[in-house]
Amino acid sequence: MSEASLAIDVSGLTKRYGDKTVVDAISLRVPRGKIYGFLGPNGSGKTTTIRMICGLLTPDAGEGTCLGLDLRTQAEAIKRRVGYMTQKFSYWDDLSVRENLAFVAEMFALDQPEKRVAQALENLELTSRAKQLAGSLSGGWKQRLALAACILHEPELLLLDEPTAGVDPKARRAFWDEIHKLAAKGLTVLVSTHYMDEAERCHAIIYIAYGRLVVEGTAQEVVAHAGLTTWTARGPDLIRLMQQLETNPAVTTVAPFGEALHISGTNAAELDSALAPFRAQGGWLWQKTEPSLEDAFIHFMTQNREKGSS
C-alpha cells in the first residue's frame, strides 16, 4: 500500500505521563476512504492515540504522518485538515444550532460561511432545529450538531471518540448512516466505540489494550485471530453454571448473552472434555456455535487484563 493511499501511517507512537506509559509503541496504517473502528477497554490509550494523530499531543517517541503531513513538524496543518469529535459535547449550550455552526465557520475563516452552514444544516437534517438552543437538544441531536461542526471545513479525516455513547439505538443508526455516506465520498474515519454492532459496520477494526496494539483486521479476521471454540448453554440457573465454569482452566471466557451462556476456550478438545460432565447432567440445551465479535473481545480483554496485572 503506497504512502499516498494512507490517511494515517504511524509507527512506534508512545506517550508517557510520569512513569506511566499510556500508549506503548503503537503502529497504525489506515487507508483513505475507509472506516476503521478503534476498540479497547477504558484506559487503553485510545483517546491519547487519537490526540497524537490529529496534532493535539506530541508523541514522546515514534513517528509518522497524518494525511501525508508529519505528526511532529506539521501539527498545525494537520488540525486544519482533520475533524475531531470528542466524547463530551463541546459546543455552546446558550447558542442556537445555526449560531454554533456560524461560530465554527468564523473560527476556521471559511469562505461562504452562510452557504456552508445552510448546507450542513440540510445534510444533517438540522434545518428545522436551526433556531433551537444547543443546550436544549437531546443526545442524538447534539451528536448531529457536533458532526455537522466537525465536517463544516470539509476535512479529509474524521476522528470520532466514542461519538454515540449514551445515544438511543435509532439515533446511533442514523449517525452511522451519515458516516457511511461521508466515507463513500472519500472521507476517512477512525472511530472509537464500545458497541459491537458499530464495530461490525467498520471496514476494519483496531483493538488495543494497556496502550499496546493487540489485533487488527476485518471483523471476521479479528474473530479468527482469537482462535476460540464457543458453546452456548440454555436453561435454568445459568449464573450457577457460569460460576462453576469460570474457574476451569479449559474455559477462557464465560459470559451471559440474554437467555444463553457463551462458553469459549482456545483448545477445542480440552473445552469439549471440560464441558462433557455438564452436558451429561441434563437440564441445559447445549450447542456448538461460531464465536461472535463480542466473544473475541471478551477474550482479548481477559487475556490482556492478566498481562497488564502481571
What's the 3-state SS for 75-123? Answer: HHHHHHHEEEECCCCCCCCCCEHHHHHHHHHHHCCCCCHHHHHHHHHHH
**CA triple 241-237-291, angle to 5 deg:** 55
Beta-ladder partners of 26 = 13
Q: How many CB atoms lie within 10 A of CB 86?
A: 16
Give the pLDDT of residue 173.
86
Q: Please tell us whether the domain made up of 3-219 is placed in CATH 3.40.50.300.
A: yes
Q: Please tell us whether the domain made up of 228-290 is placed in CATH 3.30.70.260.
A: yes
Identity of the highest mean pLDDT range in 90-94, 225-229, 302-306: 225-229
Beta strand 188-192 pairing with 35-39: parallel
**Mean pLDDT of the 189-196 span:** 90
Cell 455516506 belongs to residue: 181
H or E element: which one contains 159?
A: strand 157-161
Average pLDDT value for the chain: 90
pLDDT band with cut points at 50, 70 and 90 for residue 143:
confident
CB 96 within 8 Å of CB 148: no
Is a pLDDT exceeding 50 seen at residue 309? Answer: no
pLDDT band with cut points at 50, 70 and 90 for residue 36:
very high
**Mean pLDDT of the 52-75 span:** 94
| Tally: H helices and E strands in the chain | 11, 14
**Mean pLDDT of the 109-136 span:** 92
Among 187, 185, 163, CA closest to 175: 163
Give the pLDDT of residue 310.
40
Neighbour-count burial of 303, counting CB atoms closer than 10 A to its CB (0-12 exposed, 13-18 middle, 19+ buried): middle
Cell of 81: 485538515
Predicted model pTM: 0.88
Q: Where are the domains of the chain?
A: 3-219, 228-290
